[in-house]
Chains A and B, each alone.
Chain A
């Protein structure tokens, strides 16, 4: 009996000792809740590639603070309900330390509160300001959002002397968010907005284009994701719309050129500098981050990154920088606290987080205007 007791105690003691030492090498778990299929898959797939390349590179160097990075990918298909389900799964079953994503604003607005309540840090790749304003303790965002992009567009229109803008926006979350910000800020630049709307899945926007033409606006601004802008450009050409046409940063991707074809010629697209780094001036503080991210993506995948990739790469840069600053155990709480004190430059801009500011800075955003010429994106000026 004594022998049996001895063996039981030995077994228990050794399991405890082994699990304790194994704890030090437990991987750092990252849950990536991305839209990998579905209409917005171009965004999610680019982010997945970017995340994969950065975590592989870090793991090759031994991980962060001796802990390897383990990524769990979840495909939400761009669906908010799935985003919520997978966020829960990541937190409860896979027990991740931090969540990256979701890829779109609609999903983020649903999934972020879940992470916040469960006290798990989440770095969103969405573009809606409302995800981080008001700031919730555990929710951060790397993507530039409309409140950053809109002033850049309005400033450009002011510089070119436009006072009347025909805004064609979709009725989904992205279009509505952009519309609200544009209508709010336009008067400050002496610009009036004429609003026309359409459903993201509508098949013909001739009526909206005709109204824009009738309104004698100086310029047309399209604020929508795929596939509507390609349809609008075709309708605009057929209706003989002669004024300049601008697209939002949602169209800063090669898919736009594929879909719109010759109708995109001589139109403008607002874009994060990552799409065409040479369009950003060398003196810009984010130029270094932009060039680095562009080169690493190109080297690994032999193709240029689309701007969605930078949301994931910047998130990893933030995590890397934050882990360095943590003394002691790297867990959900310590990660969150360290992230909140981040002050680095990423491809999206300046990340200077504080308890009230969980998004990228609005100042001096690395956004450029691209002109489509010869079926390619070129620097507009």
Chain B
């Protein structure tokens, strides 16, 4: 029960939840980069990841190896559909209108999930049953390791996507200058669809990863949306690196504030620091562009 093990336990706990925040923050960032839009339904995508994978398990007795990819695909498709059939039809509207539409979509998705998956809190099984032996007196939760590994892998994948592939270039180009990108043969509409699909996949992954630890429930979208958005803003909206840094930082601050200062004040401390950062660096830690409202 020494203080080193406490520090490590708090750090691990903070990292795990920080990774989940990072995934949600990526959802915001990718969409923002490609379309300039803040998608306030991002939290609901996380919620859907959780409840759909949990329901697939309870109703059809499918194992995580099946439910997780299936859920990610379904939610990515739903997210792309919300873009194609709702947001793109309103593309000529004022920005504020588009934001309101995403909020409306969030409410609609929440209602749909209540109807389809019920009101209960579901705890689906962890991805693997293997239990780590205690290291230095600390018990690592297997699911926590999955979370961290998944985000580490995704970091690599996203970096490769945006830095090395034509697809990534198109998305970045379309975000910076849609007209020029169009002239170069990139379809902004298609890029927009793809970015929403990718954001849906990120969110769903976050949802399936956290559900065994924290439960899946139709009402949890707002909570994740707020945390993910705060993480994205902290790191700098528009910066994928910022999203990861922001997410991990937010998770760690929450965990250490609860562990060493006061558990009742942890959210106030974490968000207070966010405000402080924004006062000093309005674009966030890694942000490059100002957000248009």
The one of B10, B123, B219 in contact with A206, judged by C-beta atoms closer than 8 angstroms, is B10
Contact of A190 with B by CB under 8 A: no
> Across the interface, do A231 and B1 meet the contact criterion of CB distance under 8 Å?
no
Contact of A226 with B by CB under 8 A: yes
> Across the interface, do A204 and B17 meet the contact criterion of CB distance under 8 Å?
yes
> Across the interface, do B219 and A39 meet the contact criterion of CB distance under 8 Å?
yes
Please measure, in the bound complex, the distance between the C-alpha atom of A204 and the C-alpha atom of B264, giving whole angstroms. Answer: 14
Please measure, in the bound complex, the distance between the C-alpha atom of A111 and the C-alpha atom of B121, giving whole angstroms. Answer: 26
A196-B263, A207-B13, A210-B9 in contact; A234/B215 too (CB < 8 A)?
A: no
Please measure, in the bound complex, the distance between the C-alpha atom of A234 and the C-alpha atom of B141, giving whole angstroms. Answer: 10
A243, chain B: closest CB distance, angstroms: 13
A345, chain B: closest CB distance, angstroms: 33
> Across the interface, do A204 and B219 meet the contact criterion of CB distance under 8 Å?
no
B43, chain A: closest CB distance, angstroms: 11
Interface of B, secondary structure class, is helix
> Across the interface, do A203 and B123 meet the contact criterion of CB distance under 8 Å?
no
A79, chain B: closest CB distance, angstroms: 10
Task: Please name all residues of chain A whose beta carbon is closer than 8 Å to the beta carbon of B179 when the two chains form the complex.
Answer: none
Contact of A259 with B by CB under 8 A: yes
Please measure, in the bound complex, the distance between the C-alpha atom of A237 and the C-alpha atom of B138, giving whole angstroms. Answer: 11
> Across the interface, do A210 and B6 meet the contact criterion of CB distance under 8 Å?
yes
A204-B16, A230-B215 in contact; A210/B259 too (CB < 8 A)?
A: yes
> Across the interface, do A204 and B214 meet the contact criterion of CB distance under 8 Å?
yes
- Chain B: which residue is nearest A35 at the CB level? B119
Task: Please name all residues of chain B whose beta carbon is closer than 8 Å to the beta carbon of A38 when the two chains form the complex.
Answer: 119, 219
The one of A42, A207, A240 in contact with B10, judged by C-beta atoms closer than 8 angstroms, is A207
> Across the interface, do B215 and A259 meet the contact criterion of CB distance under 8 Å?
yes
Contact of A227 with B by CB under 8 A: yes
Contact of A41 with B by CB under 8 A: yes
Contact of A342 with B by CB under 8 A: no
> Across the interface, do A207 and B255 meet the contact criterion of CB distance under 8 Å?
yes
Task: Please name all residues of chain A whose beta carbon is closer than 8 Å to the beta carbon of B213 when the two chains form the complex.
Answer: 203-204, 231, 234
Contact of A208 with B by CB under 8 A: yes
Contact of A239 with B by CB under 8 A: yes
Task: Please name all residues of chain B whose beta carbon is closer than 8 Å to the beta carbon of A41 when the two chains form the complex.
Answer: 119-120
> Across the interface, do B258 and A208 meet the contact criterion of CB distance under 8 Å?
yes
Task: Please name all residues of chain B whose beta carbon is closer than 8 Å to the beta carbon of A238 when the two chains form the complex.
Answer: 139, 141
A260, chain B: closest CB distance, angstroms: 8
Please measure, in the bound complex, the distance between the C-alpha atom of A239 and the C-alpha atom of B119, giving whole angstroms. Answer: 30
B129, chain A: closest CB distance, angstroms: 12
Contact of A331 with B by CB under 8 A: no
Could you give, for residues 42-74 of chain A, a 1 whenever the CB lies within 8 Å of some chain B CB and a 0 otherwise? Answer: 100000000000000000000000000000000
> Across the interface, do B139 and A207 meet the contact criterion of CB distance under 8 Å?
no
The one of A42, A171, A226 in contact with B264, judged by C-beta atoms closer than 8 angstroms, is A171
Contact of B160 with A by CB under 8 A: no
> Across the interface, do A211 and B264 meet the contact criterion of CB distance under 8 Å?
no
CB proximity to B under 8 Å, residues A200-246: 201-204, 206-208, 210-211, 213-214, 226-227, 230-231, 234, 237-240
Q: Count the B residues whose beta carbon is within 8 Å of the partner chain — how many?
A: 33
Please measure, in the bound complex, the distance between the C-alpha atom of A37 and the C-alpha atom of B219, giving whole angstroms. Answer: 11
Task: Please name all residues of chain A whose beta carbon is closer than 8 Å to the beta carbon of B119 when the two chains form the complex.
Answer: 37-39, 41
Contact of B283 with A by CB under 8 A: no
CB proximity to A under 8 Å, residues B93-130: 114, 119-121, 123
> Across the interface, do A261 and B123 meet the contact criterion of CB distance under 8 Å?
yes
B15, chain A: closest CB distance, angstroms: 11
- Chain A: which residue is nearest B265 at the CB level? A197
Please measure, in the bound complex, the distance between the C-alpha atom of A355 and the C-alpha atom of B123, giving whole angstroms. Answer: 47
> Across the interface, do B121 and A239 meet the contact criterion of CB distance under 8 Å?
no
> Across the interface, do B210 and A203 meet the contact criterion of CB distance under 8 Å?
yes
> Across the interface, do A239 and B9 meet the contact criterion of CB distance under 8 Å?
yes
The one of B121, B134, B256, B258 in contact with A259, judged by C-beta atoms closer than 8 angstroms, is B121
Contact of B217 with A by CB under 8 A: yes
B92, chain A: closest CB distance, angstroms: 35
Contact of A133 with B by CB under 8 A: no
B146, chain A: closest CB distance, angstroms: 15
Could you give, for residues 229-272 of chain A, a 1 whenever the CB lies within 8 Å of some chain B CB and a 0 otherwise? Answer: 01100100111100000000000000100010100000000000
> Across the interface, do A37 and B114 meet the contact criterion of CB distance under 8 Å?
yes
Contact of B69 with A by CB under 8 A: no
A214, chain B: closest CB distance, angstroms: 7
Contact of B220 with A by CB under 8 A: yes
B238, chain A: closest CB distance, angstroms: 26
Please measure, in the bound complex, the distance between the C-alpha atom of A237 and the C-alpha atom of B146, giving whole angstroms. Answer: 19
B33, chain A: closest CB distance, angstroms: 27
Please measure, in the bound complex, the distance between the C-alpha atom of A133 and the C-alpha atom of B10, giving whole angstroms. Answer: 41
Contact of B272 with A by CB under 8 A: no
> Across the interface, do A208 and B263 meet the contact criterion of CB distance under 8 Å?
yes
Contact of A199 with B by CB under 8 A: yes
Task: Please name all residues of chain B whose beta carbon is closer than 8 Å to the beta carbon of A206 when the two chains form the complex.
Answer: 9-10, 13, 255
Please measure, in the bound complex, the distance between the C-alpha atom of A87 and the C-alpha atom of B259, giving whole angstroms. Answer: 43
Task: Please name all residues of chain B whose beta carbon is closer than 8 Å to the beta carbon of A210 when the two chains form the complex.
Answer: 6, 9-10, 259
Task: Please name all residues of chain B whose beta carbon is closer than 8 Å to the beta carbon of A198 when the two chains form the complex.
Answer: 258, 263
A39-B121, A197-B263, A261-B123 in contact; A203/B217 too (CB < 8 A)?
A: no
> Across the interface, do B9 and A197 meet the contact criterion of CB distance under 8 Å?
no
Q: What would 15 more interface pairs be, CB under 8 Å, given A231-B215, A255-B120?
A: A38-B119, A38-B219, A203-B17, A204-B13, A204-B213, A206-B9, A206-B10, A206-B13, A207-B263, A207-B266, A210-B10, A211-B259, A231-B214, A238-B141, A239-B139
**Interchain residue pairs A-B with the least CB separation, the first 9:** A203-B214, A207-B258, A207-B259, A197-B264, A206-B13, A227-B121, A227-B215, A238-B139, A201-B223
